[in-house]
Structure 1
Amino acid sequence: MRMHLSSAAAALLLLASVGAVAAQDVVITPEQDTVVREYVKKQPLASVKLPGVELNVGTALPDTVELHEVPNVKYRYTVVDNRTVLVDPSTRKIVKVYD
């Protein structure tokens, strides 16, 4: 029984780590990063306040936050608490935080 419980715990930890790695597999090429940075400078947005929301990669933004398109990039952007964030529109999760 003890061996079975340890195996189950190990399996859960393995699955959790696989999910965490998959969430971090977003790759933004240097070219995409340049496109985003230049576009954001030319198309500034008003910053929105989101009290209690941490601006970290993987944080999902609420549906109330409007996401804006960046030409030729699959991600969208917005400005939260004066920081530009790049967001996956399908999950609304932050994929990059610009300072």
Structure 2
Amino acid sequence: MRNPLLAAALLATATAMPLAAHAQQRIIVEEGVTTGLAPGVGIITEDERPRFRQYIVQERVPSYAIESPVRVGTILPESGVTYYDVPQQYGSTSYRYTVVNDRPILVEPRTRRVMQVID
């Protein structure tokens, strides 16, 4: 009885592992959607957005122009865009910010993927 029980447990584990890998959060980009945020932590909250936009204006962060629309999930070019640390007063995040096409955005620095468009 011990071996069939062990075999069943191993089979259940082996079946569940691939399913768990596919259960990760995904970014969904809909046609025509230009604002929003990716699921997860480290975003600028709705209450903080006006102050954060004002901070960006005060810091005179330049806006970079790209041809494609800025949306959550967009991958920014490898060169030509500078990323800045988000000040602690806006929360703890591993994301960086920049301004693209006159829109402040949060970016995952390793992948250059847009995680939040701040409007």
Q: TM-score range by the shorter chain?
A: 0.5 to 0.7
1:98 CA displacement: 1.2
Equivalent residue, structure 2, for 1:77: 97
- Structure with the largest fraction of helix: 1
Larger CA Rg, structure 1 vs 2: 2
SS in structure 2 opposite 1:63?
coil
Contact kept, 8 Å, 1:26 with 1:95, in 2: the verdict is: no
When the two chains are superposed, the root-mean-square deviation of aligned CA atoms in Å is 2.9
Instruction: Give the number of the structure with larger relative contact order, counting CA–CA contacts within 8 Å between residues 6 or more apart.
Output: 2
- What TM-score does the superposition give when structure 1 sets the normalisation length? 0.63
1:4-83 mapped onto 2 (5 Å cutoff): 18=23, 21-23=25-27, 24-27=38-41, 28=43, 30=45, 34=48, 37=52, 39-51=55-67, 53-64=68-79, 65-72=81-88, 73-83=93-103
TM-superposed deviation, 1:75: 1.0
How far apart, CA to CA, are the structure 1 residues paired with 2:118 and 2:85? 16
Give the deviation of 1:91 after TM superposition.
1.3
State the match for 1:98 in structure 2. 118
Task: After TM superposition, give the deviation of residue 63 of structure 1 in Å.
Answer: 1.4
Provide, for residues 40-86 of structure 1, a one-character-per-residue CA deviation record: whole Å limited to 9, x for no partner: 243231111101x2211111111111111112332111111111111
Identity across the alignment (%):
36
Runs of 4 or more consecutive aligned structure 1 residues displaced over 6 Å after TM superposition = none
Q: Kindly tell me the number of residue pairs found equivalent between the two proteins.
A: 82
The one-letter code matched in structure 2 to 1:56 is: R
